[in-house]
Structure 1
Amino acid sequence: MTGSDYREETIESYRVASEPEAMGTVIAVYSLAQNQGLPATEVSEISTSVSELAMNIVKYAQHGVITVSCITDLTRSRKGIKVVARDNGPGIEEIARALEEHYSTGFSLGLGLPGVRRMVDEFYIESLLGSGTRVTIIKWKP
């Protein structure tokens, strides 16, 4: 993803440190996706993805920020929603394993990050042990 090919307008940044804040962020993204004209399936997918990312922040990092933007791909003449979830938590030791189905370091099914990756059109993850994690997702309007 190169900056020169895209135009981006940040809509809002949401502090996420609790389940209610996580759900508030999900509701805001759901409304934005509807207002941007995404079909119901895509609205559900990006909302579910944001829910997973927000709850991962609460569970593993205690607090973080989710930034939501409207994005335009100038090369392909398409529009979408970009979400960046970032925290200063412990980081992910093995990113490749964390993206495998059923892998979990906690008491979960291990379906979260792999599910997010499946539900969005673009998925990027960066993590540094002891410094935190940044996950960027994009859902394009069909």
Structure 2
Amino acid sequence: MSAPNSGSRDIRIEQDVVLARQFVRKLAQDYGMRLIDQTKLVTAVSELARNTMVYGGGGIMDWEVVDEAGRTGLRLTFRDEGPGIPDIKLAMTDGWTSGGGLGLGLTGAKRLVDDFELDTAPGKGTRVMIGKWI
């Protein structure tokens, strides 16, 4: 493909969440990701982009197409400079939500993707990396 294989998008307002979902769906389609995997990835993106906007006060979604060990995937990193997650154990508890999102929480987003990393601390912001293989 002649398009760039990495970049960043602002996640500041509700429209940015919508645009992030649309962008990732198109990217996944362009690389031949199966429909079910597109849906899982876009659902996770929706939850994480909304978290970035609502709880992190806005931030950035970095994206890249990765080729590792003979396979291709999409890696997305959501990062903000918000208050961070005070209780990671609680935030990673199935069924827990602080309200306002899709009700998936971080654990729901984690189940929808192949790779998931969370880096956060109170006062230090949050970084969530997800990956889905094609």
Q: TM-score, normalised by structure 1?
A: 0.86
Q: Secondary structure at the match of 1:134?
A: strand
Q: Give the Å deviation of 1:101.
A: 1.6
42, 45, 50: which is aligned to 1:50?
45
* Whole-angstrom distance in 2 between the partners of 1:20 and 1:63: 12
Q: Give the Å deviation of 1:10.
A: 4.6
- Partner letter of residue 93 of structure 2? E
For residue 9 of structure 2, what is the aligned residue in structure 1?
14
2:112 maps to 1:119: yes
* Whole-angstrom distance in 2 between the partners of 1:109 and 1:44: 14
**Same amino acid, percent of matched pairs:** 34
Aligned residues: 131
2:83 maps to 1:86: no
Q: Deviations over 1:57-116 (max 9, x none)?
A: 111112100011001113xx1110000000000101111221112223345675221111
* Whole-angstrom distance in 2 between the partners of 1:17 and 1:26: 14
**How do residues 27-66 of structure 1 correspond to structure 2 at under 5 angstroms?**
27-66=22-61
CA contact (8 A) 1:64 1:85 kept: yes
For residue 97 of structure 1, what is the aligned residue in structure 2?
90
For residue 6 of structure 1, what is the aligned residue in structure 2?
none
* Whole-angstrom distance in 2 between the partners of 1:108 and 1:79: 30
Q: Deviations over 1:4-51 (max 9, x none)?
A: xxxxx7522001111101110110000000001000001111111111
CA contact (8 A) 2:47 2:104 kept: no
For residue 68 of structure 2, what is the aligned residue in structure 1?
73
* Whole-angstrom distance in 2 between the partners of 1:107 and 1:69: 28
Where in structure 1 are there 5+ consecutive unaligned residues?
1-8
- Partner letter of residue 42 of structure 1? D
Where in structure 2 are there 5+ consecutive unaligned residues?
none
**Where does structure 1 differ by over 3 angstroms across 4 or more consecutive aligned residues?**
105-110
CA contact (8 A) 1:10 1:67 kept: no
Q: Secondary structure at the match of 1:61?
A: coil
* Whole-angstrom distance in 1 between the partners of 2:7 and 2:93: 31
